[in-house]
Amino acid sequence: MISDFLTSEIKSKQINTEVCIIGAGAAGITLALEFEKLGVDNILIEGGGLEYPTPEQLDLYDAAVGDKPYPVATSRLRYFGGSTNHWGGWSRALDDFDFNQKPYFTEKGWPISQEAVHQYYPKAAEICEIPHFEKCHNGYYQKQLTDGVIDWQNNLFTNKFFVFSPPTRFGTKYLDTISHSKHITTYLNANATELLFNGKTIEGVVAKSLDGKQLKITAKHTILAMGGLENARFMLNNHNNDFKQGVGNHADWLGRCFMDHPGFQPIDLLLPKGLNYKRHLFEDEAVMPVISMTDEALLKHQLNNFCVMLGRKKDDETLNPEYMNNPWFKQTAHPAGNYNAQFIFEPSPCKDSRITLTSEKDGLGMNKLKLDWRFNDRDFRSLEKVVKLMIQEMGVTNLGRIKWKKFFEPKTIKAIGGGMHHAGTTKMSSHPSDGVVDENCQVHETEGLFVIGNSVFPHVGFSNPTITIVALSLRLANHIKGLKS
């Protein structure tokens, strides 16, 4: 059943359920569908409706920013399906490296193993409609997709691969299933504003519409699935005598370590023509190779994870293709051309990169957020080291040449954009002193409150997060089902 707060009469002022899920994006819809299969009654509330949000609804996302610009409002979508409504479909599992503890990062990484998440990827791939997903990670493309990619003859660089969801618009794809479900009750235009506290136990939530309707939902388990910015803002807005600085802010981690995937083009390359590092069909399936490094090399050189996307560009006299005709070059039989190199790199967690609240209120009476996006200096030193290793590799193998065109100066760093992948603000940790949620996404030092989504990622790698969010959501549903039984 689906009810709209703005168009339907809400017959009861209070309802009870086993699980209340706040937010109907990839995480929230996955949870609801999985609870339906498990026979667990749940209520799914979504702050928007079924259509693109109105200006009044979008104003709820209005925010302040720090020194570095960020499109806070336009990077989120407040309607059924959430950010999957503008998802490009890019998909990769997190690398095993991403789950490694990296002693050269100042903040701790995942407290769970890669297998704890990877076992849910096959089912997540079904939900995201990617039948060839496992070929990214089981070595298939490494062995079979060899034309148009560099044959790296070392243990340093390697080719990795993205695959693509259609993309699946969760709000469209699963609307009918949710509408006719037995165990899911959905409320649209229902905005969570207050948690129901009983000391350190959370007993549900109050949902409000912009026109003043209100509903109290009591639940044994409450799950925040509102995205990397709203999860933290909502928690900072909710406090009591036990959580004076916001629920989950017991160790001053809430809202900290905001991360996004930065994109940067510091170099151009002269390489053989015919390289195909772009999205294309291979065996009738969409795939995109990228250049990266082996896990062993990343750890050995103390680097952040990264990938490089190559694209052909107009030939440049400063990297003249005729240069490759010199007899000592390995590729004399192959014409050369110019490529630009788009680096997508992993930011290391930075405590000063954070979400705080302003004194300004939104249309629901909640404090608006301020996003101050920052980087650790080591992130750019890591990228410089990658480029130097690439220069060295190109020179030793006579594969090609590299031209620096941008350096990591303050004005350049300020202009770096992100992938709109909001992460890290409610980070997962094994101990309450190191984060906001535990290994099972339950908020430390609470009962009944869970957080899911990109916000729980302590390290983010370079992969787009959607399929990992779906995998973690399946894992959380399984955990809560175990608590119920």
| pLDDT score at 326 | 66
Binned at pLDDT 50, 70 and 90, residue 484 comes out as low
Domain 1-129+167-260+353-373+418-485 has CATH 3.50.50.60: yes
Q: Are strands 42-45 and 14-22 parallel, antiparallel or unpaired?
A: parallel
Task: Kindly report, residue by residue over 436-481, the tens digit of the pLDDT.
Answer: 999 999 999 999 999 999 999 999 999 999 999 999 999 999 999 9
**CA-CA-CA-CA torsion for 194, 190, 464, 454, nearest 10 degrees?**
10
CA distance 234 to 239: 10
Position of tokens 């803002």?
A: 233
Q: Which of 9-13, 45-49, 394-398, 479-483 has the highest mean pLDDT?
A: 45-49
**CA-CA-CA-CA torsion for 467, 469, 471, 475, nearest 10 degrees?**
180
Stretch 44-63: mean pLDDT, rounded? 92
Q: Are strands 14-22 and 214-224 parallel, antiparallel or unpaired?
A: parallel
Stretch 55-76: mean pLDDT, rounded? 90
Question: In whole numbers, what is the pLDDT of the chain averaged over residues?
Answer: 92
Q: Is 469 helix (H, G, I), strand (E, B) or coil?
A: helix
pLDDT of residue 195 exceeding 70: yes
In this structure, which amino acid lies at residue 21?
I
Position of tokens 């044994």?
A: 220
* Residues making up the chain, counted from first to last: 485
Contacts of 16 (CB under 8 A, 6+ apart): 217, 218, 219
CA distance to 53, 262, 286, 305, 461, per residue, from 344 (Å): 30, 6, 20, 9, 10
Q: Tokens representing 271?
A: 């390489």
CA 470 and chain centroid, separation: 11
Stretch 283-300: mean pLDDT, rounded? 96
CA distance 293 to 43: 44
CA 96, 101, 103: angle at the middle one, nearest 5? 135
| pLDDT score at 398 | 82
CA distance to 77, 84, 140, 325, per residue, from 166 (Å): 19, 11, 21, 42
pLDDT of residue 485 exceeding 80: no
CA distance 197 to 17: 16
Q: Tokens representing 304?
A: 């952040």
Helices (H) and strands (E) in the chain, counts: 13, 19
Q: What are the backbone angles phi and psi of residue 451, rounded to the nearest 5°?
A: -130, 135
The sign of the dihedral angle between the CA atoms of 26, 31, 36, 38 is positive
Q: Tokens representing 441?
A: 């996404």
| pLDDT score at 285 | 95
| Domain ranges within the chain, ordered by starting residue | 1-129+167-260+353-373+418-485, 131-164+263-346+376-417
Q: Are strands 367-372 and 354-361 parallel, antiparallel or unpaired?
A: antiparallel
Q: Which residues in 347-484 belong to E strands, given as ranges?
A: 354-361, 367-372, 401-404, 449-451
Task: Kindly report, residue by residue over 370-397, the tens digit of the pLDDT.
Answer: 999 999 999 999 999 999 999 999 888 8
pTM (predicted TM-score): 0.95
Q: Which residues in 209-300 belong to E strands, given as ranges?
A: 214-224, 263-272, 280-282, 285-293
Contacts of 241 (CB under 8 A, 6+ apart): none
CA distance 198 to 353: 32
Task: Kindly report, residue by residue over 298-348, the tens digit of the pLDDT.
Answer: 999 999 999 999 999 888 777 777 767 666 555 445 688 899 999 999 999
In this structure, which amino acid lies at residue 232?
A
CA distance 250 to 242: 9
